[in-house]
Amino acid sequence: MAFDYGTKRIGIAVTDPLQLIATALNTIHPDSIIAYLQEYLQKEEVETFVVGQPKQLDGSDSQSATHVKGFVRSLRKHFPQIAIIMLDERFTSKMASRVIAQSGLNRKKRQEKGLVDTISAVILLQDYLERKSL
């Protein structure tokens, strides 16, 4: 399961049992994420949380890194049995916007704010899956 963390929305992506393909799951407000995950984990098995690590172009932490670190602390506290992997998320939002623009979705659907977040989470998870299979 991957997360594109934002202070207004968290994009979530999941993979299939064979861990081949990442799929958009949902967009959740940060205040609701722990309750959402507790409910989700009662029905589905998750072995790893992949969290996008916000970086500047020079590789240093971006301003939102503090919020992401707090989110990771909360994940560790509530779900200590699940491994957490941090992945550089530079350019995922830009790539997600490009994917959405090329998708053929109608204008109203393309402008949904949560869509970029979930697609960014999909990109993060797919990147993780590809690295893991090398």
Q: What is the pLDDT, as a whole number, of residue 119?
A: 86
Task: Give the tens place of pLDDT for each residue, 75-131.
Answer: 999 999 999 999 887 667 666 666 766 666 666 665 566 777 888 899 899 999 988
Centre a 10 Å sphere on the Cβ of residue 22 and count the other Cβ atoms it contains: 24
| Beta partners for residue 110, in sequence order | none
- Measured at the CA of 86, the angle between CA 119 and CA 70, to 5 degrees, comes to 95
Determine the CATH number of domain 2-132.
3.30.420.140
3-state secondary structure string across the chain: CEEEECCCCEEEEEECCCCCCEEEEEEECHHHHHHHHHHHHHHCCCCEEEEEECECCCCCECCCHHHHHHHHHHHHHHCCCCEEEEEECCCHHHHHHHHHHHCCCCHHHHCCHHHHHHHHHHHHHHHHHHHHCC
- Higher model confidence: residue 117 or residue 69? 69
